[in-house]
Amino acid sequence: MKRRILITIIAVGMIATLTACAKGPCKAGHTWVEATCTEPKTCSVCGATEGEALGHDWSVNTPNFQQAKTCSRCNETQGDPLEAEFAKKGLAVETEWDKEFTFTTPCYNDKSKTTNGKYRFSNLRIAASDDALGLETAQGYEWLIFDLICRYDDENVSKYGYTGVFNAGMDYYDTYRNPDLGTMFEPGKTDLETVDRFTVNYNGEDYPECIFLWGEYTDEWNVEGTTCISQHTIYIRIPTGYDGIIVSMIANGSDVIDKINAGEMPIDCLDDKCVNFRVVPE
């Protein structure tokens, strides 16, 4: 009897061992998950590893204005993107479409008087190509077309008129590369193939086919001569999604204009009376 019990116990013990063997989670092979930047090749079942983590692939090794140093595999970033020149200078920037702001300029007939224009940037149109301009859009670019509209309706404008503003186009990010943008443009009269191009860097890539055009300007007085509405259309060809074009407004008669005319970089002259509108596609 005693012998029989012993045999049974051994048999049970053997079965137990065999069962543990069959249930070994990776007996038929590990379930490998490929190595990543930070983890080696790893079994998702038992956690076994093989080899080493790949390490990050810093394809954007030099940060640009939009991107910090970035791993091309996992998109981890290090540090910050380059700081825009306008931000470095601490210059205030408007971005809101249709926001009205008052801008004071001298009157036309009596420069000692001023008039307050109510300005707004408005009517943004985005065009992947623009047949009206007679120019095929280059691959990777789009046209932004918008209006700078102003209403003058105070007492001084009806008595003395207005002198309007001086506009300057600049690149928000890399202003010293593109200090003063803009070509006067008359649809149908200006040969777009020959207008000046400028280059912006977007996501680390240079786009040399950018165009900035000061287009049609109109101003209309009401019959009584008390209110004038002016409208200036601006055309910009830039990389799709680029948000770095600035249109600055400088009061006529301001010494900012004298400095620019004397050869100073516009960004170095702008004062806190200037309005800098940053064209951000909605």
Could you say which of 74, 92, 126, 184 contacts Zn ion (CB under 5 A)?
A: 74
Which segment (75-83, 118-126, 141-149, 236-244) binds Zn ion by CB under 5 A? 75-83
- Distance of alpha carbon 36 from alpha carbon 53, whole angstroms: 6
41 binding Zn ion? (CB under 5 A): no
Strand partners, 144: 126, 236
18, 21, 22, 23 from 45: Cα distances, Å: 21, 16, 15, 13
**Is residue 30 a contact residue for Zn ion (CB under 5 A)?**
yes
Q: Is 69 near Zn ion (CB under 5 A)?
A: no
Q: Is 43 in the site for Zn ion (CB under 5 A)?
A: yes
- Pairing mode, if any, of strands 198-202 and 275-279? unpaired
Out of 32, 33, 35, 37, point to the residue binding Zn ion (CB under 5 A): 37
Structure tokens at 126: 């985005």
The nearer residue to Zn ion, 11 or 45, going by C-beta atoms, is 45
Determine, following the binding rule CB under 5 A, whether residue 78 of this chain makes contact with Zn ion: no
DSSP characters for 70-137? Answer: EETTT--EES-PPPPHHHHHT---B--TT--EEEEEE-SS-TTSEEEEEEEEEEEEEESSBGGGTBPP
- The number of angstroms, rounded, from the C-alpha of 26 to the middle of its chain's C-alpha atoms is 51
The smaller minimum CB distance to Zn ion, of residues 30 and 259, is found at 30
Min. distance of Cβ 128 from Zn ion in angstroms?
A: 34
Asked if residue 214 lies in contact with residue 182, where contact means CB atoms within 8 angstroms, the answer is yes
Size of site (CB under 5 A) for Zn ion: 12
The least distance separating Zn ion from the CB of residue 24, rounded to whole angstroms, comes to 9
Structure tokens at 255: 């010494």
Among 37-45, 91-99, 227-235, 248-256, the segment contacting Zn ion (CB under 5 A):
37-45
User: Which residues, in sequence order, are bridge partners of residue 181?
Assistant: 169
For residue 15, the one-letter residue type is I
CB of 32 to Zn ion, least distance (A): 8
By CB under 5 A, residue 73 contacts Zn ion: yes
Asked if 45 interacts with Zn ion (CB under 5 A), we say yes
- Closer to Zn ion at the Cβ: 56 or 120? 56
| Amino acid letter, 197 | R
Q: Which residues bind Zn ion (CB under 5 A)?
A: 26, 30, 37, 43, 45-46, 48, 56, 71, 73-74, 76
